[in-house]
Amino acid sequence: MVNIGFFIIASNLMDKLVIKGGHRLKGCVTASGSKNTSLPIIAATLLVGSGTFRLHHIPDLQDIKTFTQLLHHLGAETTFSENTLLLSTRNVESIQAPYELVKKMRASIYVLGPLLARFGHARVSLPGGCAFGPRPIDLHLMAMEKLGAQISIETGFIDASIPGGKLRGAHIDFPVSSVGATGNALMAAVLAEGTTTITNAAAEPEIETLCQFLIAMGATIRGTGTTELEIEGSDALQAIEFNNVFDRIEAGTLLAAAAITGGEITLNGVDPDQMKAVLKKFQHAGCQVETTANSITLKSPQKLIPTDVTAKPYPAFPTDMQAQWIALMTQAEGTSLITDKIYHERFNHIPELNRLGAHIEILKNKAVVHGPQKLSGTTVMSTDLRASASLVLAGLVAEGTTEVLRVYHLDRGYEQIEVKLNSLGAEIIREKYKEFS
């Protein structure tokens, strides 16, 4: 009984970040590996039945752990140490991704294409909604059907099989640009018979990196980095060693942290070419931005200039930077308009930012940010990954102490965020707290 009682209390213990605001960030920091490229790359290892993959620069994040757990469940062997993931998928036998794992992370849908292509059958639990609105998977299913799969949805599972035994190359035209659906279509098409063309493919760097990964495995893909992809099916893919790319969203968040505190930082280990839209907006906001082939230096202005932003598919401003931009614009001298054309209702961070003293209104799916507002520390609640990042940014500039609760959202996508920010002069500590529901 005592043990059970202890377990129940312990399971309510969560992490919070306690931020003392008001420190100007200064110094150098290195970007981590990208979470959003790691996930499809790890899924793509399911395509191969022999050998061991060595994946370097994989961030040590909760999402990676959850995804690796899913691969374990399917029968893969994995070892993770110092940002290198060793992965062997030769003993994979299960083709079923259960709800308990899929519900933790929507990106689990990435196993659909590779499992189907390799085993001719896949069962993946339906992922459900998420904190910032409905996130359909119809385009993933449409792509699999075009390639010859038969899909049924029963008892909460997507059941995909191939009546003809093997996927066949096809033309897939996406009505909406989708990173996830493009990734799934690519991973299925590389093992299909014949040629597949994908139009209106997502051109995000995450898809470009997935293409490079698949090509290194032996796939033939033309049009990498564009919205039109052509894939020649192959059956001779192999396990490889691969260096993951930097995380452009973490990089943008760290630059925003410097800018919101009036600071000056250099980010190393980045490719500024992948961040053109974001860097342009920092310049519009008055920041001085200097780049080399693998670094970005940002110097903040005396006063930030209000800057409108519309989040759209790459190469435009990313939706995953929208929340952080709103936090930044609370300190600009005037009104900024922020629109998200990808997830129209992705504004969960706004009520919490307003609790810190921001003045942000939502008008017809636009966030109207009235700056500059003096923020003052209080306790705020994370609701999703990027929303939590925006609260941390606000905490860095707020007067007094800000406590950001439910940091597990942040830990899904930022590797040692407080360690990195503290190395630049921030004052953040991580503490445990009990949450009573």
Minimum distance from residue 201 beta carbon to ligand UD1 (Å): 11
Which residue has the closest beta carbon to ligand UD1? Answer: 180
Indicate the helix (H) or strand (E) that contains 229.
Answer: strand 228-232
If one asks whether residue 39 binds ligand UD1 (CB under 6 A), the answer comes out as yes
Q: How many CA atoms lie within 13 A of 379 on its CB side?
A: 5
Minimum distance from residue 320 beta carbon to ligand UD1 (Å): 5
Residue pair 269/79 in contact (Cβ under 8 Å)? The answer is: no
Minimum distance from residue 136 beta carbon to ligand UD1 (Å): 4
Q: List the catalytic residues.
A: 130
Residues 90-129: x/- map of binding to ligand UD1 (CB under 6 A)? Answer: ----------------xx----------------------
Between residues 85 and 332, which has the closer beta carbon with respect to ligand UD1? Answer: 85
Whole-number Å distance between alpha carbons of 432 and 392: 17
If one asks whether residue 43 binds ligand UD1 (CB under 6 A), the answer comes out as no
Which residue in the set 125, 319, 336, 382 belongs to the binding site for ligand UD1 (CB under 6 A)?
319
Which residue in the set 57, 104, 118, 140 belongs to the binding site for ligand UD1 (CB under 6 A)?
140
Minimum distance from residue 411 beta carbon to ligand UD1 (Å): 15
Residue pair 257/251 in contact (Cβ under 8 Å)? The answer is: no
If one asks whether residue 206 binds ligand UD1 (CB under 6 A), the answer comes out as yes
Residue pair 38/244 in contact (Cβ under 8 Å)? The answer is: yes
What are the E-state strand segments in 248-294? Answer: 264-268, 288-292
Whole-number Å distance between alpha carbons of 428 and 437: 26
Minimum distance from residue 137 beta carbon to ligand UD1 (Å): 5
- Angle at alpha carbon of residue 335, lines to 329 and 339, rounded to 5°: 70
Between residues 206 and 403, which has the closer beta carbon with respect to ligand UD1? Answer: 206
Minimum distance from residue 305 beta carbon to ligand UD1 (Å): 26
The interface region with ligand UD1, picked from 82-90, 130-138, 221-229, 399-407 by CB under 6 A, is: 130-138
Which residue in the set 149, 160, 342, 380 belongs to the binding site for ligand UD1 (CB under 6 A)?
342
Which residue in the set 65, 121, 135, 370 belongs to the binding site for ligand UD1 (CB under 6 A)?
135
CB atoms within 10 A of CB 238: 12
Q: Three-class SS of residue 301?
A: coil
Which residue in the set 100, 138, 273, 361 belongs to the binding site for ligand UD1 (CB under 6 A)?
138
Indicate the helix (H) or strand (E) that contains 124.
Answer: strand 121-125
Q: How many CA atoms lie within 13 A of 314 on its CB side?
A: 20
Between residues 124 and 397, which has the closer beta carbon with respect to ligand UD1? Answer: 124
The interface region with ligand UD1, picked from 16-24, 137-145, 255-263, 404-412 by CB under 6 A, is: 137-145
The residues in 167-186 that bind ligand UD1, with binding defined as CB under 6 A, are 176, 178-181
Residue pair 268/245 in contact (Cβ under 8 Å)? The answer is: no
Q: How far is residue 283 from each of residues 31, 278, 323, 390, measured CA to CA in Å?
A: 20, 9, 18, 20
* Total chain residues near ligand UD1 (CB under 6 A): 22
Which residue in the set 58, 85, 92, 139 belongs to the binding site for ligand UD1 (CB under 6 A)?
139
DSSP 53: E
The interface region with ligand UD1, picked from 11-19, 217-225, 260-268, 312-320 by CB under 6 A, is: 312-320
Contacts 24+ apart (CB under 8 A), 6-9: 9/434
The interface region with ligand UD1, picked from 77-85, 134-142, 145-153, 348-356 by CB under 6 A, is: 134-142
Residue pair 350/387 in contact (Cβ under 8 Å)? The answer is: no
Side by side, which strands form the sheet with 157-161? 96-97, 121-125, 157-161, 150-154
If one asks whether residue 320 binds ligand UD1 (CB under 6 A), the answer comes out as yes
If one asks whether residue 48 binds ligand UD1 (CB under 6 A), the answer comes out as no
Whole-number Å distance between alpha carbons of 416 and 104: 20
Between residues 127 and 371, which has the closer beta carbon with respect to ligand UD1? Answer: 127
- Residues of this chain that interact with ligand UD1 (CB under 6 A) are 36, 39, 106-107, 135-140, 176, 178-181, 202, 206, 318-320, 342-343
